[in-house]
Amino acid sequence: MSENRRPARPSRNRGTLSEIDLARGWIEWLARSRNGYLNALLRLSDVQRTQDRGASFPSIEDIFLHIVDNNLWWFESVPGNRQAEHQRPLGPLSPQQLRALTRRIARIDRTFSASLTPQGLRRRIVVNGIGGDGQPYRMTVSLRTVVWHLIEEELQHRGEMNALFWQLDVEAPTDAWFSSPLAR
């Protein structure tokens, strides 16, 4: 699907949406509205974009790259069992590199979203990684948990970026869920 095309209308059964419809709607909304964060990030000077602000990740760019990395990890490396080959994008990056990564994760998100099925959501996945504390971990999760965790995680970091933009007196690129096709 092209980045500018709207997704097909969700299937409706007596006015209710399935979990697949909701997951696809959220993933599409995140992919589309993420461009606002990219554009706001690129309007900052290199210094503003990469300055350590003492947040969950040092700079606003680092927080954005964490969002990118989460999408690469959870929607590409983990389900594709390519965890060992996963390479985290590290900054600072050029505007062209940031745009390319943003387009890449939008494609990954949409491909992953289109592949979702009720049976697939129940699929169990073994995840091997390194935690925020630097310690290795191994856990088994359902694909359902992966989907909802990634959505929650991106929303959390967008809120953090909003606060940092506001501290710089920059309008945060909020895009209300009301703009989602599912909210209409």
Specify the pLDDT at position 4.
44
The values of phi and psi at residue 93, to 5°, are -115, 155
For residue 176 the two structure tokens come to 């209300």
CATH of domain 19-183: 1.20.120.450
Among 21, 23, 27, residue whose Cα is nearest residue 8: 21
For residue 25 the two structure tokens come to 């709607």
* Rounded (5°) CA angle 80-26-64: 70
What residues does each domain of the chain span?
19-183
Specify the pLDDT at position 131.
84
Task: Please tell me the distance from the alpha carbon of residue 49 to that of residue 29, in angstroms, as a whole number.
Answer: 24
DSSP assignment string, 148-181:
HHHHHHHHHHHHHHHHHHHHTT-------GGGSG
Q: What is the pLDDT along the chain (184 residues), one digit of tens a residue?
A: 344 444 445 554 546 889 999 999 999 999 999 999 999 999 999 999 999 999 999 999 999 999 999 999 999 999 988 999 999 999 999 999 999 999 999 999 999 999 999 999 999 999 998 888 999 999 999 999 999 999 999 999 999 999 999 999 999 998 877 777 787 7
